[in-house]
Amino acid sequence: MLTAVLAIAAPASAQIAQPTLRSTRPARGLFGGGVGDVSQSLIFTASLGGGYDKAEGGQIINGPGLAPIVSPPWVGSHVVAMTALGYSLSLGRVHAGATFDAHGRFRDGQSNTFSGMGAGGNIGWDIASRTTLSASQGFSRQPRNMQLFYGGAFDATSTPNTVFDLSGATSLADYTSSQTSVRFQQGITSRIALNAGYSYLTYFGSNNSTMSDATTSTAALGLSYSIAKGVYFRMGYGSTTARYGASSQPVRYNGLVMDGGLVFDRALSLTRRTSVTFSTGLTGARDDAGLVHYFVAGRGTLSYELGRSWTTAVNYRRGVDFDQTFGQPIVMDMVSAGISGDLNRRFQASAGVAGSWGSIGINAGASGYNAYSASADLRTALTRQLGISLSYAYRHYFVDDQRSLPIGMQPSTDRHSIRATLDLWVPLFTRARRPDATR
């Protein structure tokens, strides 16, 4: 009930709807199942492999007063390595999780290596039958990227995904980020609930320029009224303050989120396999001149289950994102679609496409952009712990005015990437839940 309202308590990054795999097949260790109903688990995963890239070149901004750098087109092979360690805990009223992951990517024939490292954790506490508190924290160090154009966000109820796929890196320059989010829910009656949330995001560049540093804080408060199961009315208010640049006179933007309307989140009556979720809202962002610009915001998802294991999903979202990459708010529309499922007991496949468009900045004459992406994955289990993955990804974006980009970014790119990896999944520790334990 609270998810849509409290989404305004975190940076409003565009999220791509991804189908959720259903645990209908046995021994799905590599595919996210396989440990059963446990109260604790410690899982180690690793991947090693390589692939082939093709990317266009272009001019890269090199700082004020400096000539642009010309990045040549790239065609060649690469080696990739990834490792992660994840812990989960579920004991009665307390739920927690933590992750650590590291990625490395080396291009053949070049001396540079892309690398990223991150850690995150989350905890939830059901204080009483109508009172819950949750929080998350994440840290990362990774190359600059345009992940915003293709989706990605964090919230207070799940462990942050701190490191992005390095195939989307657009610069050798790194940045460090810290993400904090807290959420509180208090049920007033069986139908009415009070929701509150706060998030704080810091961003530090690695080019020794304070202009690339930024912070964003968001606070939100809302009420929801349950009309029926999966159908409720909500109203809320939030405030976002974004501070770009660590100089004595940083650029500040204030955002006001007035969120309200009907939320539908349940299966359609026509079929139990189809579900629809939608919500609406209004966002106001104050520019550096003190003027407030208002934008209609909202999101909707349509999903459909196919057979025993296949799921499709279509998602649309519109909102204002106070992203640290560009030093100003971004008005974004995004649409995406995906499908995933089991081909048989050992093979799993998924595919997705997405497109986004909007403006970088909220003032008149702001620079526009468009971005498109597509991906396909095929995985097979050799054993319960060992498997092979084959994946393909395509990314494109184009920004009208390269002056709106941070130092070290290309104004456009078209990138194709294909790779194969050997994947390892090892449960280092698991503890089964007691039959009489609270779930």
Tell me: the pLDDT tens digits for 179-199?
899 999 999 998 999 999 999
| Full-model pTM | 0.77
Residues 6+ apart with CB under 8 A from 243: 214, 215, 216, 250, 251, 252
Instruction: Please name which of 75, 15, 17, 80 lies closest in space to residue 47, comparing C-alpha atoms.
Output: 80
Q: What confidence tier does 300 reach under pLDDT thresholds 50, 70, 90?
A: confident
Structure-token pair, residue 415: 């990138």
Of 98, 101, 102, 95, nearest to 133 (Cα)?
Answer: 95
211-247 tens-digit pLDDT: 567 888 889 898 988 888 778 888 888 888 888 775 5
Q: pLDDT band at 134, cuts 50/70/90?
A: very high
Q: Give me the domains of the chain, ranges plus CATH numbers.
A: 3-432 (2.40.160)
Residue 34 is given by DSSP the state -
Nearest to 322 by CA among 332, 312, 313: 332
C-alpha 7/C-alpha 154 separation (Å) is 9
For residues 398-404, give the mean pLDDT.
79
User: Distance between terminal CA atoms of the chain?
Assistant: 19
Tens digits of per-residue pLDDT, 281-297?
Answer: 777 777 767 778 888 88
Q: How far apart are CA 406 and CA 152, in angstroms?
A: 19
Query: Mean pLDDT over residues 289-309, rounded?
Result: 82
Q: How does residue 47 score in pLDDT terms, banded at 50, 70 and 90?
A: very high
Q: How far apart are CA 144 and CA 383, in angstroms?
A: 36
Residue 302: pLDDT over 50: yes
Pick the range with the lowest mean pLDDT from 35-44, 165-174, 248-257, 417-426: 248-257
Lowest mean pLDDT among 82-86, 113-117, 401-405: 401-405
Q: Which residues of 331-359 are buried (b: 16+ CB within 10 A; e: fewer)?
A: bbebbbbbbbbbeeebebbbebbbbbbbb
